[in-house]
């Protein structure tokens, strides 16, 4: 089969399409003929040498795919049939024509979603639901601040939070992206962080109230401002480190607000935890996709042999929504 490998840490030019042996599903795994794979920030960090695969995971990048079930390993208990249209959450291996994945990380695609577009769903749905709902316990009526409005995580998080009845604020770096966040995604407040101080702007537009929950993909660069933006008893959930790993924390400010900082990652979690998350996504998120409360936003698709161009487009930051590789 064809698959993408990283020859050495670096830019998009280090991505190589190679002919390699097809995977063989092990115990409890299903084999999927991949139709499309989603690009994620973790893939870029892996390409740059900053985010190696977890022990035992494939060296091939790619954390989510859509496709059709092609076979089964021993002991698969999930009620799948060969040919079923599915999506899968992966620890790696998605940039390939086939992938073997634990059955608990595989879901049938939601009704009404085409098989290519479906590749934009599993990783972001699992990340957002597990962090906003299972970890931060976001409740209806609370204010949530979501950074990176028009990326894959942001587009899912805004819509899911709205569907849950939250008051949604978000940040983006251009007026165009701010407009998309409000007009297409439904954000109540959208802040251009390049022109405004987001903690001050949030409180000015929210009756003086800060964020009960913040979903942050930036990390160190935003730590002090995130603490400033939190409401009393607020929960800051850090899921990305685009802005660095080290920052100074004012514990006094955190104590005065009785607030919490939580850091999570999805990729290295054990299969059992991912299975619980994917079951929750099926039960809680898929119905919202089916009835249109959560819509997919695909920026652009690329064939597998144009994976370098896909990563260059991702690196440009120009995209709004998901970028997909099509086999």
Quick: pLDDT tens for 151-171: 999 999 999 999 999 999 999
pLDDT value at residue 318: 87
Under 8 Å between Cβ of 79 and 103: no
pLDDT value at residue 320: 87
Which regions of the chain does DSSP assign to beta strands (E)? 2-6, 15-19, 29-38, 64-72, 85-89, 98-102, 106-108, 143-146, 167-172, 189-192, 211-216, 230-238, 260-263, 298-303, 322-326
Under the banding of pLDDT at 50, 70 and 90, the label for residue 77 is confident
Rounded mean pLDDT of the chain? 96
**Phi–psi pair at 314, nearest 5 degrees:** -60, -50
DSSP code, position 54: P
* Rounded mean pLDDT, 196-209: 97
* Rounded mean pLDDT, 279-286: 98
Under 8 Å between Cβ of 168 and 144: yes
Question: 177-186 pLDDT, tens per residue?
Answer: 999 999 889 9
Cα 320 to the chain's mean position, in Å? 14
Residue 26 has pLDDT above 90, yes or no: yes
**Phi–psi pair at 283, nearest 5 degrees:** -80, -35
pLDDT value at residue 149: 93
């Amino acid at each position: 089969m064809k698959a993408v490998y990283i020859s050495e840490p670096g830019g998009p030019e280090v991505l190589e399409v190679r002919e390699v042996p097809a995977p063989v599903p092990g115990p409890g795994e299903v084999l999927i003929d991949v139709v499309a794979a989603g690009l994620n920030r973790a893939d870029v960090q892996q390409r740059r040498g900053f985010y190696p695969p977890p022990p035992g995971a494939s060296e091939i990048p790619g954390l989510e795919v859509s496709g059709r079930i092609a076979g089964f390993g021993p002991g698969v208990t999930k009620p799948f049939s060969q040919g079923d249209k599915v999506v899968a959450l992966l620890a790696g291996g998605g940039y390939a024509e086939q992938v073997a994945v634990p059955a608990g990380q595989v879901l049938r695609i939601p009704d009404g979603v085409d098989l290519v577009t479906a590749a934009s769903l599993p990783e972001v749905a699992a990340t957002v639901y597990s962090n906003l709902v299972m970890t931060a316990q976001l409740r209806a009526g609370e204010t949530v601040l979501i950074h990176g409005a028009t990326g894959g995580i942001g587009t899912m998080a805004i819509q899911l939070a709205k569907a849950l009845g939250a008051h949604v604020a978000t940040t983006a770096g251009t007026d165009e992206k701010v407009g998309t966040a409000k007009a297409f995604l439904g954000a109540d407040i959208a802040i251009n962080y390049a022109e405004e101080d987001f903690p001050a702007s949030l409180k000015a537009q929210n009756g003086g109230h800060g964020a009960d929950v913040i979903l942050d993909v930036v990390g160190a660069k935003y730590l002090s401002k995130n603490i400033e933006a939190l409401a009393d008893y607020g929960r800051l959930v850090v899921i990305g480190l685009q802005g660095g790993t080290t920052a100074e924390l004012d514990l006094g400010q955190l104590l005065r607000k009785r607030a919490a900082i939580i850091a999570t990652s999805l990729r290295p979690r054990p299969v059992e935890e991912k299975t619980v998350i994917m079951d929750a996504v099926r039960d809680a998120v898929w119905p919202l996709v089916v009835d249109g409360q959560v819509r997919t936003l695909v920026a652009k698709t690329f064939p597998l042999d144009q994976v370098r161009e896909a990563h260059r487009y991702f690196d440009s930051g120009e995209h709004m929504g998901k970028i997909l590789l099509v086999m």
